[in-house]
Structure 1
Amino acid sequence: MRRNFGRVSLKKPKRMNIKIRAYWIYKGIVTIMYASLIYFASSRDTSSVPLPLHYDKAIHFIVFGLLSLMICWTLSSFTFGNHWIVKIIVAIGITSLYGASDEFHQVFTPHRSVSVFDWLADTAGAATAAFLWYGITSKWWVKKATV
């Protein structure tokens, strides 16, 4: 009897683990596809598109903020000892590094230039979005737990 109980308890987590892994892979693929879209868009020549002054900083803020949200969404499948600050720091760090690599990539793109201020807008968008993610999800979980 004890052996059967041990076997049953071992099989259930494995099935749940497969579902969790599959969902994590799905989240990761969607996030990587969005990052690829950013890479593709930054490879394009935008010299023919007239933009108002500092409009590009707002675009960087929003686009990389969304990337940070998607990374937070992907990391929500992990349990880093249930420390939300670790997930936020990791999401901001990944997004900031991706923003820096995107700026470096623009060195090789015609009619594009590298700007530290673009990278700062990327990082600010990432930080804002990550803390927004925490604020929204923590209130949602508290509300869900009390219902």
Structure 2
Amino acid sequence: MSRTPTARLFHTDSGTELVLDRTFRAPIEDVWASVTEPERTARWFGPWKGDAGPGQMVKLQLAFEEKQPWCDLRIESCSAPRQLEVSMKDEVGNWRLELALSEKDGVTTLQLTHHLESVEGIGEIGPGWEYYLDMLVAAREGTPRPEFSEFYPEMKPYFDGLR
């Protein structure tokens, strides 16, 4: 199956932002639960454990990555059910992510913004976020999970072209 990338790249005064959206015919509270409750995040990204709250650290397992590593994830801010900002570090670098949710007429839009330190590696990062958001769609709809090979390396030229 061929997938079409949806991400956009914005250059701002404070850096570069990779932005992706998905829409769901569901109340905002239900979509929020899909991205914040550990048993639901386990279905598409990975489970987490710990005391969640602004300024707190939780342990997140990257369940669909090689070796399924656990990492520390800091909750920078949270305004349920509309906004969540998190950060983490790994061998690739610093990750600053923001989820914004909005609902209109029974349709909830989820916007993921990855605040990038540089566009280095965008050809790998972008397809990864497309994959994970489509994993979220599949988890919510009860459809088969997509294969990462449907996203990478096929989408790499698109993301490299955004630079």
- Give the TM-score, by structure 1 length: 0.28
Higher helix share: 1
The structure with higher relative contact order (CA 8 Å, sep 6+) is 1
- Give the TM-score, by structure 2 length: 0.26
